[in-house]
Amino acid sequence: MVCIGLLLGVYPASSESADVDVKSLKTIGTQVPGSRPGNLFVEGPDFSIIYHTLSTTLGIGDRAYFVASTTDEGESLWMESSPGGDLVLLAKVGDVAPDMDPGTTFARMTAFYNSIRPVGNGNIIFNVVLEGDSYSGPAIYFRSAATGAIRLLIRDDEPVPGTSTEFFQIDTYYRYPQQGNDGRFFMEALVSGTGVTTANDEGIWTWTLGGPKELIIREGNSAPGASNGEVIESIVRFSRNNLDNVAYTADLTGPGTDASNSKAIFVGTPTFGGQSIAIRAGDPAPGVEADSVFTTILNLISLGNDGGINFTSKLSGPNVADPDAYTRWSMAPGQDPQLVPSPPIVPSVNQGDPAPGTSAGVTFSTILYQFSAGPGEWHVFAYLAGPGVDGSNYFGIWTGPPQNLRLVARTGSQLPTGFGIPNLATITNSVVGRVVFIGEAAGERSLWLLEPEGTLRELFREGDPVLVAGENRIIDYISFRVTSSRRLFEFSETGRFVVKLSFTDGSDGIFAVTPLPVTSQPDRVTACINAALKAALIKKIKKLKKKIKRAKRSRKIAKAKKLKKKMKKLKRKLAALPC
């Protein structure tokens, strides 16, 4: 357990005396850091807290970017001057929209999911809604970290070059621009218009700022390097390297094509037709069982800076022992694929397997989540079944290679009795084996950190105080969601992540959290001497709430008022505690 009151304002962010640093990025009703006094964060037009992302790109550090509504600027895009530092205004509603006809302005600072993305070298892209006489609708803009300039990348209904009847349809949920090292942009985009069908409505384009968009490949085009007249039926996944070479997986159709050989990986230069087939389903798989061929090639590919590719595939053949097993492969330019010696990418942990670290006969009843914890290592979250398993010990967390998992924590021991994870929304993504998740026990939620080596730490829980704008606020609810359908799903490479905290006074905010090294210094123990008193006060307040409800139901108004006064005094004492 950590003392949240110590984490913001009492100790600096670099203090080794705290387990976690909690930084308020945006809390309704509080001052915007670095702006004029009285400029406050306020409720947004649709919901109180809009989208947020953390930048981890080179040259800019671990700064946060987010959209908020403020007293002075309205809906606006902000950046931290440094991690935990003052905020810098980047753009706001009403600003003139660059690279558009005169009179066109930013009407909204969020148009789609994934509204802000880092694209390299400290640069970001962000989507907006434009409003003007010649065009009104969504668009994607680029901001240069070097110059601060904001330039248009692409907008909805922008004409596809070389046509007058086809138009780009932007969608940043899956498709968004990527920036290459030479300043060139790449994007997998959808197209609509006259003559456009599902057979030719998607392609990959490249361009420079202000320059024309140039086609790399599009559905319905002849498959580059194919010998039998095959065409691209669908483009599934796109990748590039630091030299701006490109790779993509595609499904093919045409003469001699069937389910056994329709998937292929293309690699080459970012020019039209400048790619060739690197590997195709049905090709021989060298260095393994005789007569083996590649069958199911996964869409997840990576392109190395040497032009080589990494991919994953199943194998088939008369001598293949397990045709359902996925194997990893690397392929240097001009060379045959080489099997990468590593465990299967999907750990072999299944429902019904014995649960390591438990008594005989106890098995995994439901595998909830599996996260990579590094090469060959996995974190496994699972429910249990078997002799002696009940509501006090039914859930556990394991870490290690699939064939040698070790129990990290189990309800009733390291985890509170009744501990569970309600749904996927409470899990952040894993970065370098680190997982942050929300657990719940007896109706109380708490935030936990699982390190790659299996160390488990509770960071804070509901009922803890957090220092916001100079005053302690009591956490009422912890969430990774900003609305029912929008999640804060970012975890930076330095270990910084974001969480939404709601407080008992009705306010809420977005907070950047950085877990710090755990220490056992005496001053920390002294500072947290009031932890037991805090727990006792929270317990008394909960009892008073129940008594107030009973008094109201019995129409004992005077008694209810007296109890309310008593509860307010206890809340003031609770807020005054240092931890």
Beta carbons of 59 and 554 less than 8 angstroms apart: no
Cβ-Cβ contacts under 8 Å for 239 (sequence gap 6 or more): 246, 247, 248, 301, 302, 303
Candidates 370, 450, 437, 434; CA nearest to 402 is: 370
pLDDT at 529 over 50: no
User: How many percent of the chain have pLDDT more than 70?
Assistant: 83
Beta carbons of 137 and 128 less than 8 angstroms apart: no
What residue numbers bound the domain in which 539 lies? 529-576
- Give the per-residue pLDDT at 48: 32
Give me the number of domains the chain comprises.
Answer: 1
- Taking every pair of Cα atoms in the chain, the longest distance, rounded to a whole number of angstroms, is 89
Q: How many CB atoms lie within 10 A of CB 415?
A: 22
Q: What residues does 232 pair with on adjacent strands?
A: 252
pLDDT in tens, 551-568: 888 888 888 888 888 888
DSSP H or E stretch at residue 79: strand 74-80
H-helix segments, 404-445: none
- Give the per-residue pLDDT at 470: 77
167 domain-assigned: no
199 domain-assigned: no
Residue 308, judged by CB atoms within 10 A of its CB (0-12, 13-18, 19+), counts as buried
Candidates 249, 241, 163, 143; CA nearest to 204 is: 249
- Give the per-residue pLDDT at 423: 56
DSSP H or E stretch at residue 524: helix 522-527
Candidates 328, 270, 268; CA nearest to 294 is: 328
Distance CA 21, CA 23 (A): 6
pLDDT at 339 over 80: yes
Q: How many CB atoms lie within 10 A of CB 88?
A: 17
486 domain-assigned: no
Candidates 538, 435, 417; CA nearest to 480 is: 435
- pTM for the predicted model, two decimal places: 0.75
Distance CA 129, CA 57 (A): 25
Distance CA 43, CA 49 (A): 7
Q: How many CB atoms lie within 10 A of CB 229?
A: 11
pLDDT at 420 over 50: yes
Tokens, residue 451: 């390190």
Q: What is the mean pLDDT of the chain?
A: 81
Segments of 269-352 assigned E as strands: 275-280, 293-297, 302-303, 309-316, 326-331, 338-339
pLDDT at 382 over 80: yes
> In this predicted structure, which of 192-196, 213-217, 503-507 has the lowest mean pLDDT?
503-507
442 domain-assigned: no
Distance CA 501, CA 482 (A): 10
Candidates 478, 365, 495, 378; CA nearest to 425 is: 478
pLDDT at 9 over 50: no
Torsions phi, psi for 27 (to 5 deg): -130, 130
Who wins on pLDDT, 376 or 461? 461
> In this predicted structure, which of 9-13, 92-96, 277-281, 409-413 has the lowest mean pLDDT?
9-13
DSSP H or E stretch at residue 231: strand 231-240
- Give the per-residue pLDDT at 484: 47
- Give the per-residue pLDDT at 114: 59
Phi-psi region of 74 (alpha: psi -120 to 50; beta: other; left: phi over 0): left
Phi-psi region of 381 (alpha: psi -120 to 50; beta: other; left: phi over 0): beta
What mean pLDDT do residues 266-286 have? 93
- Give the per-residue pLDDT at 47: 35
- Give the per-residue pLDDT at 261: 93
| CA dist list (Å): 308 to 279, 373, 493 | 11, 25, 25
293 domain-assigned: no
Distance CA 307, CA 247 (A): 9
Beta carbons of 95 and 106 less than 8 angstroms apart: yes
389 domain-assigned: no
Q: How confident is the model at residue 211 (pLDDT cuts 50, 70, 90)?
A: very high
What mean pLDDT do residues 492-518 have? 80
572 domain-assigned: yes
Who wins on pLDDT, 266 or 559? 266
91 domain-assigned: no
DSSP label of 65 = E
